[in-house]
Amino acid sequence: MDGMHVMLDASESKIEASIGFSRKWNAREAGREVVKTAIEKLKTPPSFFLLFSTIHYQDNGGFKELLKGVWDVLPKGTPLIGGTVSNFINNYGCFSRGATALAVSYPNIDIAIGIGKHTKITPKSAAKQCASMIKKGLKDSKYDHKLIVDVISGPTIPKLPMIGRFMNVDSRVVGNLLAYFFVDFFSYLGHGIGKEGVIIEELSYLLPDYQIIGDSAGERLFNYQFVNDKVYTNTVVALGCNIDLPVKVNAAIVSHETKKTFRITDTTFDNRIITRIDNKPAKDVLFNLLEVDKTQFGEFDDFYYKTSVYFPMTFEEKKENTLGVCGLFGDNIVLHEKIAGKNVRLLSVTGKEIIGNINDIIHKSNHFSPFTLIFYSSLYSYILHDRTHDIKEKLDKYYGNHPYLAVGSLVENVRIKDKYPSVRVYSFNMFQLDVPNFENIFTNEESN
């Protein structure tokens, strides 16, 4: 085995995986390098290529240039999807700037790419377009094990004339106007909340045999999705994969329950904005519960980074779903996604808990996978800061040089076999293959 690249015999066929990486600032050069580093060690061309980059190429040549660089080197016809991410961890390090990729080569695999447009305004129809392309592309596939890797346009904030971009409005009147009337208008502009829940439910319904793992592309302001040589916004892109090796998807939410609970009594924007809690203005009740005073916060970012980010919500009715506060419009609380019930319990997260739980999840993961792909909450970094490097240390401790790529996501989505799909924050979701005749990838005695 070579560093960050692996090749093995499985079912008399060869599977290879490799991680690509670039820290170049110039988009074109980064595109070339991320492919070069990924494929130079592969003996056969990749069956698929997952590409992720931070937002920085937006101002350093643009994402079209990044993809031009990619296709300067990547063999023509290789199926490619990807998108922008907040940060990422791979065998090379832990970064919040750069480009990275996972290239996998295997003969007993069928791949189809799906894309659905206008997710903000018509998420269901976007999911249908995407599912239909995957169904069509894989209709003749003879392989039994099925997975979808998706990248969905996450929440974006529109830039309004004279007002600019905002996530927090103090005025009760303006906040109510936004919450009840204008927020819908953002969707027509291709902006606003991500609608990941609708998309994943529809994909799961239309493709019931598939396990799903994915993320919302990007940060809170902008995000982009990639399909082959095209750059998109406001889309869902997905890689449908049928393979003859068992697919393992593991998922966990890293947090603990607090005793703080409340009951949602009124919502708007199709259950994505909480207007009343226990029949009182929502923001006041949340602030009381968190024991904070609105005079403490000059602006939303102060509340978001210092308090809100430590307290995601879950629902007594569906504990697999977790949500965070995305903005405050007057008395109303804007969420990342639809509520999954009326009875909310606040969760709490600490840095120590994140590191400890991730260690346990990796320790219990499959020992016989040629690569590991992870979608984890980029909110971890908001708590861990430079100690995000500790996650990298845990991954190295168990996987060593075996290829792994962990992508930092704003909102994660997952569907494990025979379970309901869920959209969540603060989760750590892992895709591996199960190849029993493969060497044990756990690298040291301590980890066994």
Partner 1 sequence: MQEDPILDVLNDLLNYDEILACMVARHNMISVMPDQSRFKPEVMQIWDIIKRAMDDVFGVIREYSQAGLGEIEFRLQDYEALFYIFPDTENALVAIVPALSNKGLIEVEMENARREILKIMENKIETTP
- Say if residues 136 and 130 touch (Cβ distance below 8 Å): no
Region of 178-186, 266-274, 294-302, 323-331 interacting with partner 1 (CB under 8 A): 294-302
Q: Cα–Cα distance between 222 and 231 in angstroms, integer?
A: 13
Q: Cα–Cα distance between 380 and 85 in angstroms, integer?
A: 14
Contact status: 340 vs partner 1 (CB under 8 A): no
Q: Cα–Cα distance between 415 and 75 in angstroms, integer?
A: 31
CB of 379 to partner 1, least distance (A): 8
CB of 388 to partner 1, least distance (A): 5
Residue number with CB closer to partner 1 (143 or 382):
382
The pairing of beta strand 225-227 with beta strand 80-84: antiparallel
Q: Which of 95, 287, 398, 426 is the binder for partner 1 (CB under 8 A)?
A: 95
CB of 111 to partner 1, least distance (A): 32
Q: Cα–Cα distance between 159 and 161 in angstroms, integer?
A: 7
Contact status: 188 vs partner 1 (CB under 8 A): no
Q: Which amino acid is at 243?
A: I
Q: Which of 64, 97, 260, 319 is the binder for partner 1 (CB under 8 A)?
A: 97
The site for partner 1, by CB under 8 A, has a size of: 25
**Sign of the C-alpha dihedral, residues 52, 1, 40, 396?**
positive
Question: What mask of x and - would describe binding to partner 1 in positions 52 to 71, judged by CB under 8 A?
Answer: ----x--x------------
Contact status: 328 vs partner 1 (CB under 8 A): no
Contact status: 96 vs partner 1 (CB under 8 A): yes
Contact status: 305 vs partner 1 (CB under 8 A): yes
CB of 120 to partner 1, least distance (A): 23
Residue number with CB closer to partner 1 (249 or 325):
325
Residues 343 to 402 in contact with partner 1, rule: CB under 8 A: 378-379, 381-386, 388-389
Axis-axis angle for helices 351-363, 389-399 (nearest 10): 20
Give, in order, the Cα–Cα distances in Å from 78 to each of 38, 68, 281, 323, 373.
Answer: 13, 14, 52, 36, 19
- Say if residues 66 and 53 touch (Cβ distance below 8 Å): yes
Contact status: 301 vs partner 1 (CB under 8 A): yes
Q: In what order do the strands lie in the sheet with 225-227?
A: 5-10, 13-22, 99-105, 48-53, 80-84, 225-227, 230-232
Contact status: 294 vs partner 1 (CB under 8 A): no
- Say if residues 269 and 184 touch (Cβ distance below 8 Å): yes
- Say if residues 321 and 348 touch (Cβ distance below 8 Å): no
CB of 94 to partner 1, least distance (A): 6
CB of 223 to partner 1, least distance (A): 15
Region of 31-39, 93-101, 118-126, 225-233 interacting with partner 1 (CB under 8 A): 93-101
CB of 115 to partner 1, least distance (A): 28
Contact status: 222 vs partner 1 (CB under 8 A): no
Residue number with CB closer to partner 1 (340 or 379):
379
Contact status: 25 vs partner 1 (CB under 8 A): yes
Buried b / exposed e across 252-283, counting CB within 10 Å, b at 16+?
Answer: bbbbeeeebebebeebbbebbbbbbbeeebbb
**Sign of the C-alpha dihedral, residues 382, 383, 389, 392?**
negative
Residue number with CB closer to partner 1 (241 or 354):
354
Residue number with CB closer to partner 1 (98 or 123):
98
Which residues of the shown chain bind partner 1 in the complex (CB under 8 A)? Answer: 25, 56, 59, 86-87, 93-97, 219, 299, 301-302, 305, 378-379, 381-386, 388-389
